[in-house]
Amino acid sequence: MEPPKKSGPPRRSGPGGPKRPGGPGKRPGFAPGRDEATGGKPRFAKPGERVQPGRGPRPDAAPSGDRTGRDRTRPVTAKADAPARPPRRNDGDKPRGAAFGAAAKPWANKPPRRSGTGPKTTANPHPAHAAASDGKGEPQRIAKLLARAGIASRREVERMIEEGRVTLDGATVETPATLLASLAGVAVDGVAVAAPAPTRLFLFHKPSGCLTAERDPVGRPTIYDRLPDDLPRVIPIGRLDMNTEGLLLLTTDGGFKRQMELPSTGVPRTYRARAFGEISQQQLEDLFDGLEVDGVRYGPIEANLERRTGRNQWIEMTLTEGKNREVRRVLEHLGLQVNRLIRTSYGPFVLADLPIGMVAEVSEQDLAIFRKTLKDAK
């Protein structure tokens, strides 16, 4: 009668099968079929595969063909004169395959792969990336430098150059594409341009009935008619329609203004609209897929129906593109008539309880933290 079979994976017998180690050479916690490369976890043989521990051949081991004839009952003292087992090495100290006989495989003599502890070399950055990282020594367009200095927006600077109001070392600048490393020697209307001061950001509660512009050809009031006289020269970030009220950001940095306005930067703007008509929450949720109105494609809009007052609906909308009259055109496309529109936030900056017509400055620390989160402008 055959003895009952033990549970577990089958064990091969005969030449090449795994052997159960014995004697004083047995390492604690190291069992047959456990590979050091797998952290000592059991590793079972597949059909036709030999399981080899990842420690290399023993110098006193007999050839594989003679293992079945090895005397397993010889005393332990017979190994007293045997050479000592070489110290165990990590898998990272030798190339893969050394445990299967390095002499038989020439590629096993390759130098070991580096573990990453040596010095790392940094690729040479693109000049444009280097300029974005430190901003020093790289020539830039004079229109960009003047906008960065807070003289005016880029478009306004380009118009000033066309009018011959900008000079460089006494000579009139003819093109806004002139490359300069600094504003040294540059003057506007005969006044030398100082080095750009640190960026400043202001929150302004724009009232309804004024334009987001420096001047109006027909004499309508602008936001600059409502700003305090002690403010530095500031430019608006984005625009609000004449009849739109709420949060308007003002900055002294033209480059920061452009970065905030670009859709690729992804800065969210939130509005509250009071609109006349009927609308459902499902219709507003469909705006998240974007839509096209009169040939203009609008991106995802997050909209929620807040409350109803009669036939007026209060709707909150958050978007990242800020195209011209986007909120009004989208709601009109849905059959609503907007009769009041308030911007309540721009990025992390909120209107809160700032009184109409008042200005509050963002601290340098808060501004620096926010600018670190901005995506690179394309």
Q: Which residues are catalytic?
A: 241
Q: Cα separation of 120 and 113, whole Å?
A: 15
For the chain, first and last CA: distance in Å? 82
Edge-to-edge strand list for the sheet holding 191-192: 171-172, 166-168, 186-188, 191-192
Q: Cα separation of 61 and 207, whole Å?
A: 92
Contacts of 216 (CB under 8 A, 6+ apart): 222
Length of the chain: 378
Q: Cα separation of 242 and 210, whole Å?
A: 5
In angstroms, the Cα distances linking 102 to 85, 105, 134, 251 are: 17, 5, 52, 69
What DSSP letter does each residue of 60-81 carry, written as one string?
A: TPPPGGGGGG--TTS-GGGGTT
Where residue 41 falls (left for φ over 0; alpha for ψ -120 to 50; beta otherwise) is: beta
Q: Cα separation of 35 and 52, whole Å?
A: 7
Contacts of 174 (CB under 8 A, 6+ apart): 161
In angstroms, the Cα distances linking 345 to 250, 278, 368 are: 13, 26, 18
C-beta atoms surrounding 17 within 10 Å: 15
Q: Cα separation of 166 and 192, whole Å?
A: 10
Q: Cα separation of 17 and 34, whole Å?
A: 14
Both tokens assigned to 34: 């456990």
Contacts of 43 (CB under 8 A, 6+ apart): 33, 34, 35, 51
